[in-house]
Structure formats: C-alpha cells, structure tokens
Structure 1
Amino acid sequence: MMHVAAGVLVDGAGRILIAQRPPGKHLAGLWEFPGGKLEPGEDTAAALERELDEELGIAVDPLSFEPLIRIPWSYGERAMCLDALVVRAWSGEPAALDAAAIAWRDPRDIDPAMLAPADRPILAALRLPEHYPITPADLSVDTAITHVRVALARGERLIQWRLPSMPLTQARAGAALLLPDLHRFGASMLLNRDIEGARDLGLGVHLSAAQLRELDTRPLPLSQWVAASCHDAEELALASRLGCDFATLSPVMTTASHPDAEPLGWPRFAKLVEAASLPVFALGGVGPGDAAVARMHAGQGVAGIRGFGAMASRTGFAPSLR
C-alpha cells in the first residue's frame, strides 16, 4: 500500500488551500490537498515538509503539524493510505509549482464533487464539528423543536433529528419548522432514516445499518450530508462504499439503553476507525466531555443523546477544534 501525506493549509481567515491535478496525471483536473507519497525511510511529517517545498515552494515546521484524519483508499488496484495533517504556519508564498492551479477556499464553499474521491473525507473532517447530538426519542415534536433551538443557541452545529415514536409525516413537519433556525446559525441537521424527507427539505439523512445493506448508491447528492450507524468493520466499509460522509460507531462504552451490548472500548474503537475511510463519531456511553478522548483515538468527536441537552459546544469547522 502506498503511503501518502497531505497538507491542509489553513490561513488566518480560515480558508484552505487546494491544488488542481495537472493534465496527464491520474485524476487530472480534479482538486486535492497538496502532498505526496513517502520515500523509503521517511515518516509522514518529513515527507509532507519535503512535498510542500517541492509542490508549493514553502517552508514548514513539521513539529507544528496537527493530525486530522487517516484515509485508507483504493483506486482500482492502486491502494493507498492518506494521512492528512493541518498546517497553520509556513514561510514563503504558496505557488503552483507542480499543479495546474492552486486556490484558497472557505471549506464550506467547496463542492466535494470537484475533489479527488480520496480527498472528500478530508473535506468532511474539516467541516464536521466535534459534537453530534441526537434528539431524545421520547420527546414530542414541539419539545424536540425547543431542544434543537436550545442546542443551536448554545453552539451545536450538527444535529440528528430522531423521533422514532412519531408518525413520519409529523416528524418531518417538525423538521421543516426548524429550517429558518438552521439557516440562521449555519447549522446542519440529519433526519434519522428518512431519505425522502431529507431530499424534500434539503437536509441530510442518517441511515440505519439495515439501510446500508439495502442501498446500492448514495441516496442524496454530495451537497447534503449522508451518515450511517455502524457497529463493526463490515458496516464501516459499507458506509464508505455507499459514499457516506461520516458514521457513528457504537457502543464505545456500556450504555443504560443497551446494557447487554458488549462495548468496544477505546482501543478497539481506534483500531476500527483507523481502518475506516470516513470520519467517525464515538457513540454509546460517551458525553461531550469525551470529545478530546475520541480524537486521541482517531475519532472525529462524540455523538449521543444523554448529556448533550444542557451543554455548550464550541463553534467553527474542525481545524479550529482539533
């Protein structure tokens, strides 16, 4: 497997640098994060330092790199492991020395379709926050709306709308009432299992593990989040093949709702996430205070129901959080 280092340069305005692959190369015309493969005997940081000098003409300090995400990927028979590192400081002005063009973009304004497929999970990791709260299942629609509005006011920017005991049309109507709030806060909401509702409302969808096995193609365009509930390596692989943007992996710890389910534990969680090809939130027996622990174990952050209702979350996209 080829090992590749990618640099996510973030400037003072929060923009990131992307580079367009030149004519004649694999995936020519698509955009990517600058970097390249490790030479024999090189570690990831040293390789990225060299590649950024060769490709952009800038000097960086490897000690300042921040790990973002590791992506195993395969382009047909070409297998690779892509290590993405955030870079915030450098000397020199980046130039397109080995690319058709370079551009600075707000990560929220980048169309994932313009990126090479292996680079799309990197963009997702940049956009996603460290918390993914889920509405409690036993709420009425009105109470759930209030729950989401309070969470938005306190800083949450990614929420799963899950009301399994409510009729689908009623739950969907409640989600529609939150559209102005989501727009005002620049937040995203995913409907649990409701693909049709997500498509109609322009929201994301969070798929069940059963739906992963039923679907053949990604159910929504790349402009709308698609996530999935996963519990093992097989389901994480299914989520990646379907083109999901991120997943939850559970249960990490023992939970009151599923006391008989064997927890993964943090070491097993990390092993599964490192082999996954998309950002993964820890779910099950974790709370907001465990976000740093999840990141230490290769996770994007934490998801959950209990403990998320009355907490304040940081804002911004992921490079400001990691």
Structure 2
Amino acid sequence: MMQVAVAVIRNADGEVLLAQRAAHKFQGGLWEFPGGKLEPGEDVDAALKRECGEELGVEVLAWEPLITLTHHYPELSVVLHVALVTDYRGEPQGLEGQPLTWVGAEALGDVDFPAANRSIVAALQLPSRYVITPADASPQVVMAGLQATLAAGHGSLVQLRAPRLPKAQLLSLAKRLLPVCHAAGARLLVNTDPAAAMSVGADGVHLSELMLRRLVQARQARPVPKGRLLAASVHDVEGLALAQRLDCDFVVLSPVAATASHPQAKPLGWTVFADWVRQAGQPVYALGGMRLEDLAKAKAAGAQGIAGISGLWHDPH
C-alpha cells in the first residue's frame, strides 16, 4: 500500500493549484493535486514539506488535514493523506518540468483527474459541519430552528430528517425550507427516496442504510443527476463499500461516541473510526455524540468533519 502526501494549495483568489502528470508516468497527462509518496520513516508533515519544496519551490508554513482515503487501482493501491495548506512562502513553479495551473473550486468538477482525486474535489466542496434536523420536532419548530441555526453560522449543509412525518408532509416542509437554506448559501438534503427528494428540487438526498442496500441490490445506477448530492448513513465497513458502489458523494459513519438518541448502540471510538475512514474512499462525517469541540479530533482522524443534531442545531428557545 503506497502512502502519499497530497497538498491542496490555494492562492489569494481562492483558486486551487494543479499539476499535470508527465506523459510517461502512471496515468500520465491527467491533472492532479501536487504531492508524492512518503519515504521510509517519513511522516506526512515531513513528506508534504519535502515534496512541495522539491516539486514547487514552496515552503509549507502551516497545514491542516482535509481528508485521508484509500483508493484501489488495478495496478496498485494508495493511501492519500490530503493536507489543506493554510500558509506557505514562495510562488509555485514546476521545478520538475510539470505544467501548473490555478483552477477555481467551482470548475474542479470539469478537470480530468485520476479517479482517486475525485474524492478530494468532493471534500473541497463540502463544509466541515453537517447539520441534521431534530427527528421529533414539528414543522414549525424545524423552520424556526433552521433559521436560528443558519443565522448563527452553524452550517451550510443541512439534512432534513423527519422519519415520523408522512411523505407528503415531509416534502411540503422541504419546499418551505429550501428557499431559507438558499438565501443563507446553504444546501438542503432530504432523507427520503431519491425520486421524492428530486421532485421538490432538493440539493441532494440522504439515504438510510436500508435504502442504500436496496438500491445497490437492485443494481441501481447513481440515482441523482449531476450537480445534486448523494449521501448515506452507514455503520460499518460493509456500508462504506456499498456507498462507494453507488458513487455517494459522502457518508455519515456512526456512532463514534455514546449518544443519547441511540443509547443501546456500541460506540466505535476514534481508533476504529480512523481506520475505517482510511478505507472509505469518499468524505466521511463523524456522527454520534459530536460537539463542535470534537471537530479537530474528527479532522485528525481523517474525517471531512462532524455531523449532528444537538451538537450543531440551534434551538431558538
């Protein structure tokens, strides 16, 4: 298993630096985020700084974890330790003769990347917090809570989850919440079947693990159009693999810690969570007992961030 340090470097305009692989290399001609494999005995920090210096002439001054993922090509398997470089010195140059280009985040989906880099693009376009609406709240309480949550800046990605509401009422509520989310620059995913979520113009669908299994067993292709998000709840390595087969944009893995909503569930703990995240192949949010103070721990474990209700939802009362 090849260990690789990957650098995501932004300029003052928010554009991301890409390098083109040499034609004679594996997957030559494709664009990629700069980086390279860890040398024996080298950690991610040392490899990141060495590769950026050797390839780009850039001194990395500060960075934070973005995502850690494993990707299996027919020829080899790689573990990508992706770092978001938050401070650096120097102007990037292609010191090994590789062409460089700066690309806006909104245009990354049109770039010809190696398959392993697609999840990095997804991670760049997702926030670190995924807010879930309270399951037992009335539509009026959900609306008030959403407005308070968005006003407090608690999240730009929201899942409407109301398992006890009849589908017609759920979709009616989704229609009312969508303009509120969009006015705040947030996206709304609806926890229901894909066709129903798309019928109301939702920004995406969040699948229960049961729905995920049904779609995979039916050999369903990705059930949402391009530009809409597809997410799923999973609880083990098998669920993570199913989400990959359905080409989910991200998953929520739980329970990481003890949670009042599911007291009977045995927590995974951070060690198991981190190991499973490395196998996921897509961005993963940690769910279960998560608070804002757990965000750094989740990122250190390779997660995209944290998901939650009580830890992120802002009660207007």
* Fold in common (TM above 0.5): yes
CA deviation map 1:161-201 (0-9, x unaligned): 11112222321222122333332222111111331133331
Q: Which amino acid aligns with 1:86?
A: L
Question: Hey, what does 1:79 align to over in structure 2?
Answer: 77
Query: In structure 2, do the counterparts of structure 1 residues 255 and 59 end up closer, same or farther at CA, with 3 Å as the change threshold?
Result: closer
Query: In structure 2, do the counterparts of structure 1 residues 272 and 146 end up closer, same or farther at CA, with 3 Å as the change threshold?
Result: same
Question: Hey, what does 1:195 align to over in structure 2?
Answer: 194
Q: Does the CA contact (< 8 Å) of 2:289 and 2:311 recur in 1?
A: no
1:22 offset after TM fit, Å?
Answer: 4.7
Selected match of 1:247 from 238, 248, 251:
251
Query: In structure 2, do the counterparts of structure 1 residues 172 and 43 end up closer, same or farther at CA, with 3 Å as the change threshold?
Result: same
The answer to whether 1:238 aligns with 2:242 is yes
Q: Does the CA contact (< 8 Å) of 1:288 and 1:311 recur in 2?
A: no
CA deviation map 1:62-113 (0-9, x unaligned): x633222211101123211111122233343223455774332332442166
Question: Hey, what does 2:278 align to over in structure 1?
Answer: 274
Q: Which amino acid aligns with 2:120?
A: I
Q: What CA distance in whole angstroms lies between the structure 2 residues aligned with 1:293 and 1:47?
A: 22
Q: What is the DSSP-based 3-state SS (H/G/I as helix, E as strand, rest coil) of the residue aligned with 2:3?
A: strand
1:135 offset after TM fit, Å?
Answer: 0.9
Q: What's the TM-score, normalizing by structure 1?
A: 0.85
Question: Hey, what does 1:34 align to over in structure 2?
Answer: 34
Question: Hey, what does 1:134 align to over in structure 2?
Answer: 132
Higher mean C-alpha deviation, range 96-105 or range 287-296: 96-105
1:206 offset after TM fit, Å?
Answer: 1.0
Query: In structure 2, do the counterparts of structure 1 residues 43 and 212 end up closer, same or farther at CA, with 3 Å as the change threshold?
Result: same
Question: Hey, what does 2:3 align to over in structure 1?
Answer: 3
1:141 offset after TM fit, Å?
Answer: 2.7
Q: What CA distance in whole angstroms lies between the structure 1 residues aligned with 2:4 and 2:291?
A: 33
Q: What is the DSSP-based 3-state SS (H/G/I as helix, E as strand, rest coil) of the residue aligned with 1:86?
A: strand
Question: Hey, what does 2:67 align to over in structure 1?
Answer: 69
1:9 offset after TM fit, Å?
Answer: 0.5
Query: In structure 2, do the counterparts of structure 1 residues 12 and 205 end up closer, same or farther at CA, with 3 Å as the change threshold?
Result: same
Higher mean C-alpha deviation, range 206-215 or range 94-103: 94-103
Question: Hey, what does 1:52 align to over in structure 2?
Answer: 52
Question: Hey, what does 1:184 align to over in structure 2?
Answer: 183
Runs (4+) off by over 6 Å: none
Q: Percent identity?
A: 45
Query: In structure 2, do the counterparts of structure 1 residues 39 and 293 end up closer, same or farther at CA, with 3 Å as the change threshold?
Result: closer
The answer to whether 1:286 aligns with 2:278 is no
Q: What's the TM-score, normalizing by structure 2?
A: 0.86
Q: What CA distance in whole angstroms lies between the structure 1 residues aligned with 2:101 and 2:310?
A: 42
Q: What CA distance in whole angstroms lies between the structure 2 residues aligned with 1:39 and 1:222?
A: 38
Q: Superposed, which structure 2 residues align to 1:202-221 within 5 Å?
A: 202-214=202-214, 215=216, 216=219, 217-221=221-225
Query: In structure 2, do the counterparts of structure 1 residues 224 and 96 end up closer, same or farther at CA, with 3 Å as the change threshold?
Result: farther
Q: Does the CA contact (< 8 Å) of 2:159 and 2:206 recur in 1?
A: yes
Q: How many residues end up aligned between the 2 structures?
A: 310
Q: CA RMSD of the aligned region, Å?
A: 2.6
Structure 1: where are the runs of 5+ without partners? 313-322
Question: Hey, what does 1:149 align to over in structure 2?
Answer: 147
